[in-house]
Amino acid sequence: MKHKEIYFDNNATTRPLPEVREEVLKVMDSEFGNPSSAHSTGERARRHMAQARKQLSELIGSDTSKITFTGSGTESNNMAFYSRTRDKTDGCQILTTTVEHSSIQKMCNFLELNGVKVNKLEVNPDGLIDLDKLRKAINDSTSLVSVQWVNNETGVIQPISEIGEICTEMGVPLHTDAAQAVGKIEMDIQELPIDFFSLTGHKFHSPQGVGALYCKDRLLLAPMLFGGFQEEGFRPGTENVPGIAGMGKAAEIRRNNLPELISRMKELRDRFEAMVLDFVPGSKVNGDTKNRVCNTSNIMFDGIDGRRLVKELDQNGVRCSQSSACTNFEMSPSYVLCAMGLTEEEAYSSIRFSFSVENTYEEIDSVVKIIRELTDKLQN
Ligand SMILES: Cc1ncc(COP(=O)(O)O)c(C=O)c1O
């Protein structure tokens, strides 16, 4: 029997909204110009880029001149790190955490091979970093502090404003990976002590393969690619205009109803969580539940192999995951949960459910029913 698909893996990616698809198609059909062309077709493409920059800036509270479009959140993260280490030959230090996304973990591995010192702050069992330890770890050689705003597996929100104040006081720039924060938290980044800020469109219903890097002072940026003068030379290569226009539309839709959309996702998540905790003996939420983004629930099912449960849920039409999409195929337990002190077995017993504005109460109720049946089967 074919099951109706219920998609609870929105931290991996979200479905582009119908208005976003329309915008992308419009740009591909009739506004296909190269924004670097001097003629009118190029001018129309430039206008789409300018509009998208404005729409995105309004969602996050930025000035348009501080936004550089990139091809992904991964690229934005890499670029921030590259910019702060490229010309440092004297053994500079990057200070980050043990729970960052793989695009930061792997960039750190690469930088370490090239002589950069990387210090990863551990997190508490609730997933939060210790601010005193952060302050003590900053030293004269620290060229960047990078702390994610929201964790992709647990939804735990780091106190980014306080982290930024410490960095300002110590005279060190702060980068934050905000891939899971944009569109789920109200923000005005120009008011915050943040120097670099990465985002990616596909977490808020834009097409995949388009992101941006906010930089308070764009002169701090160093290009990783070499070529034309696109993005004022900071990101050479002909821009993905349809994708950028789609991301702009998604940002505009999100911004127009942000508080309402946040509370809708939170209601869905809270209903789901309350029912699961009630019906499944030994289930427990991982991570701080007070400082948590509205759409994410990471649940440990005691005594159950989460890998098997994810597979069986998939066979029943329910899409969810054990860790981030970027590490799903690695045969190891979630490094985020292990960093929070869970045992390997507990990490393997845990599943991430992440909701979007497209989910419904009916979906929640039917997934809880399926989870109840499957956990009964798998526990016995
Ligand atoms: C916290 C976080 N950072 C960075 C990324 C990478 O974004 P992208 O998929 O656009 O490369 C993701 C996406 O999975 C993420 O969740």
**CB of 340 closer than 8 Å to CB of 323:** no
**CB of 170 closer than 8 Å to CB of 120:** no
What's the pLDDT at 87? Answer: 83
What's the pLDDT at 132? Answer: 98
What's the pLDDT at 324? Answer: 61
Ligand 1: centre distance to CA 73 (Å): 5
pLDDT at 380 over 80: no
Q: How confident is the model at residue 328 (pLDDT cuts 50, 70, 90)?
A: low
What's the pLDDT at 258? Answer: 97
**Can you tell me which atom of ligand 1 is nearest the CA of 71?**
10
Q: How confident is the model at residue 219 (pLDDT cuts 50, 70, 90)?
A: confident
Tokens 């059909």 map to which residue?
A: 29
Mean pLDDT score, 106-124 = 96
What's the pLDDT at 329? Answer: 62
For residue 305 the two structure tokens come to 């192999």
Ligand 1: centre distance to CA 66 (Å): 20
What's the pLDDT at 91? Answer: 80
User: Which three-class secondary structure state does DSSP give residue 283?
Assistant: strand
Reported as a single tens digit per residue, the pLDDT across 273-299 is 999 999 999 999 999 999 999 999 999
Ligand 1 and 152: CB distance under 6 A: yes
Tokens 């077709």 map to which residue?
A: 41
Instruction: DSSP for 146-206, please give it.
Output: E--SB-TTT-BBP-HHHHHHHHHHHT--EEEE-TTTBTTB---GGGSS-SEEEEEGGGTTS
Ligand 1 and 73: CB distance under 6 A: yes
Domains of the chain as residue ranges with CATH: 6-16+258-379 (3.90.1150.10), 18-256 (3.40.640.10)
**Can you tell me which atom of ligand 1 is nearest the CA of 201?**
10
What's the pLDDT at 164? Answer: 98
pLDDT at 56 over 90: yes
Ligand 1: centre distance to CA 226 (Å): 24
Tell how strand 211-215 and strand 196-200 pair up: antiparallel
**Can you tell me which atom of ligand 1 is nearest the CA of 326?**
14
Pocket probe mutation, ligand 1, options 324, 329, 335, max atoms within 8 Å of Cβ:
324
Residues recognised as catalytic: 326
Ligand 1 and 180: CB distance under 6 A: yes
Ligand 1: centre distance to CA 328 (Å): 13
Give the distance from CA 255 to its chain's centroid.
17
Starting at the earlier edge strand, list the strands of the sheet with 296-301: 283-285, 296-301, 350-354
In whole angstroms, what is the distance from residue 229 CA to residue 279 CA? Answer: 58
**CB of 239 closer than 8 Å to CB of 246:** no
What's the pLDDT at 327? Answer: 59
For residue 7 the two structure tokens come to 């998609």
Mean pLDDT score, 192-215 = 98
pLDDT at 326 over 60: no
